[in-house]
Structure 1
Amino acid sequence: MGEFILNVEIDDIMMPYLKQTGNMYNLCVAKKVGTDYNVVWSGNTQYLAKNKFQFEEQYQVFGGNKFGSGALVEAQTEPVNIAFGEVAVLQDTGVFQPAKDADNKKELVDSASFAVNNDYQAICIGVNGKINGKFLPIYLSRQLVTGSIELQPKVEVMVWFSNKERTSSMIMKAAALSTTVDFTGHTTRTIRYTQADPDHPGKGKWIKL
């Protein structure tokens, strides 16, 4: 399985604006699933000038609470490990069977995806991804799922600062001042947050190194 490293550097000049008393900003990272970034994978104030996020293509699926902007993802079933090319069945008892290889190619449109077959009642389906050694939510379906759903995590992340969202927060759209990082063909990428304009202290911008 691939292992990836995202280095996030923050210039010292930006720290006083990001860590103001009473208005602390979280450094947020989200991972793309399909065409969507909709859950904060990691978001906290424990950042310094140099920060490393290490992640692998290891995933779990689970049944979760209803999608709502700003709410936190809450698993309502036990998660089950899943790999590309596999299908997990949520039984009518509300318990996941262990994921297994798809019976035929028709079950999966793309080889770099996996699926959930829901035999339970309508529920949102979530995905956990492993970051810095811990499984955390990266995605929750916006609609309740009945039947099957195919899920395709990408090696693309979005990074931004927020004084509202934190780890496991659901988000409706990309943050205004964010940057995306595509790891296709790379195992390590580095970005830096620096001052955008000397005449406007506190206004920042992202640079890809």
Structure 2
Amino acid sequence: MPVPTYTLTISVNPDDISNLQNAGYRLCIAKRVNNKYTVVWWSGGVSTARNTFAWDAEFQVFGALRFQQGLRVRPDTNAQEIKFGQTVVLDVHGDMQPATGPSDKSGVFQVQNDHDRICIGVNAKLGEAWSPIYLSQEPFAIGVVSLTPVEKVLVWFDTSSSTGIMFESDDIINSVELDFTSKTSQSVTYVSDPHRPGNGSSGSWIVGGSAILSSTYNVETDTFSLETPSALLLGKLSATINSQNSVPLTVTASVLFSKPAIAQDFVRYALARRPDGVRTWAFGLSGLAGPAVVDSRLQAQDDMEDEAAIQFLQDAFLAVLSPFRVNSNVTGFSFKVLDRNS
């Protein structure tokens, strides 16, 4: 049975991107382990309005001599992949042995520490890269260490964090926690405070079409305290939510292929190349016994005037279709514009 894939989409109000960049703010993500967030799983600059992250429930364990705030996690042992229900032995020589035991759905795995006092860490894969999500703040003595990753993530902006950094502050301000324990996909939008444009330490978040008050996460107590937004920020949040909930214009595209196999190849090709700024990028295939038609449904991420939206979506589609058309037996294509209420 394949492991589930989780998808997180973080959108940034386009008007805020350049301000955040100029102020040096970086988007940060942490993942919860043993009822705490302790390490920056990913950190990077934001250059686009839509940023998507995907991961599976895949983990590694390792050992490190110490936890030190503000420094990058530095493993002092090798890392071993592990699944829920399994155990990895850290032997007397300080080597992590391959995981043993059957996997299960317990949500817990263990390290048998036969070495010495040592901090135990966990890596998780984000995309194709492994990076730390947890390091115990105190070393464990010889014995069994239980580790429980939870599919919850913390998202925030700051100017000092980078991937793999152990939290250098007891408080993570202007953060939002997203719970994946009952769903595999979440979307969140960041909106800055008009009083302090470009300040990633202020502002608020929109989750599922609703404004969520930003909160300060206290690392030591594992608690959240809510932050009160300004009246101007509430107005900006309302305008952003209304924009997200507006009905976008839809453009459909139909491409006729002489061979069904090539049509199927195009669907796979196009789905992997959704252009920036396109919210809906859906494809369907018909006519598997002869000439095949690929029908597409396209919507822009940002609300635009009708003429601009039509031109943008047509150009975006053709930019993907054109490189594929060479020697691909395309015999025709057409566009159709649907009413906003269609």
Q: Distance in 1 between matches of 2:128 and 2:85?
A: 23
The equivalent residue for 1:179 is 176
Alignment partners' CA distance in 2, 1:174 and 1:47 = 26
Match of 1:96 in 2: 96
Partner in structure 1 of residue 237 of structure 2: none
> Which residue is 2:157 aligned to?
161
Contact 1:78–1:95 under 8 Å retained in 2: yes
User: Could you say what secondary structure the match of 2:58 adopts?
Assistant: strand
**What is the alpha-carbon distance in structure 2 between the residues aligned to residue 134 and residue 122 of structure 1?**
28
User: What is the CA deviation profile of residues 147-200 of structure 1, one whole-angstrom value per residue up to 9, with x for unaligned ones?
Assistant: 22100000100000010111001015451100000012211100000134x444
Shift in CA distance, 47/34, structure 1 to aligned 2, threshold 3 Å: farther
* Offset of residue 205 of structure 1: 1.0
* Alignment partner of 1:130 out of 113, 121, 125: 125
| Other-structure match for 1:107 | none
Residue 208 of structure 2 corresponds to residue 206 of structure 1: no
Residue from 144, 165, 170 that aligns with 1:148? 144
Contact 2:21 2:46 in 1 (8 A): no
Preserved contact between residue 17 and residue 47 of structure 2 (Cα < 8 Å): no
Indicate how the Cα distance of structure 1 residues 174 and 86 shifts in structure 2: closer, same or farther if over 3 A, else same.
farther
Are the counterparts in 1 of residues 41 and 131 from structure 2 also a CA contact under 8 Å? yes
Q: Shift of residue 97 of structure 1?
A: 1.2
Q: Which moved more, 1:140-149 or 1:198-207?
A: 198-207
5+ unaligned residues in a row in structure 2: which ranges?
A: 209-342
Indicate the structure with greater helix content. 2
Q: Secondary structure at the match of 1:14?
A: helix
> Hey, what's the Cα distance between the residues in 2 that align with 1:25 and 1:59?
29
**Equivalent residue number for residue 72 of structure 1:** 72
Aligned partners of 1:72 and 1:169 also within 8 Å: yes
TM-score (norm 1): 0.90
Number of positions where the alignment pairs a residue of Structure 1 with one of Structure 2? 199
| SS of residue paired to 1:17 | helix
CA distance in 2: counterparts of 1:65 and 1:25, whole angstroms: 31
Q: Contact between 1:14 and 1:204, CA under 8 Å: does it hold in 2? A: no
Please name the residue that 2:299 is paired with: none
Letter of the 1:143 counterpart: E
Aligned equivalent of 1:13, options 15, 25, 48 = 15
The residue that corresponds to 1:112 in the other structure is: 107
TM, length-normalised to structure 2:
0.56
- Looking at structure 1, the residues matched to 195 and 71 of structure 2 have their Cα atoms a distance apart, in angstroms, of 37
Structure 1 counterpart SS, 2:172:
coil
Q: Distance in 2 between matches of 1:199 and 1:27?
A: 20
Summarize deviations over 1:29-50 as a string: whole Å, max 9, x none: 0000021000000011154210
Q: Larger C-alpha radius of gyration, 1 or 2?
A: 2
User: Contact between 1:65 and 1:73, CA under 8 Å: does it hold in 2?
Assistant: no
* Counterpart in the other structure of 1:4: 6
Q: Which amino acid in 1 is paired with 2:13?
A: D
CA-atom RMSD in angstroms:
1.6
Identity %: 35
Q: What CA distance in whole angstroms lies between the structure 2 residues aligned with 1:129 and 1:86?
A: 16
SS in 1 for 2:16: helix
Deviation per residue, 1:65-123 (Å, 9 max, x gap): 41111111011111001000011100001111111127xxxxxxx92100111111111
Aligned pairs for 1:36-47 (under 5 A) are: 36-47=36-47
Amino acid across the alignment from 1:15: I
Task: Measure the CA separation in 2 of the matches of 1:117 and 1:27.
Answer: 35
- Could you tell me which runs of 5 or more consecutive residues in structure 1 were left unpaired when the two chains were aligned: 103-109
Letter in 2 for 1:182: D
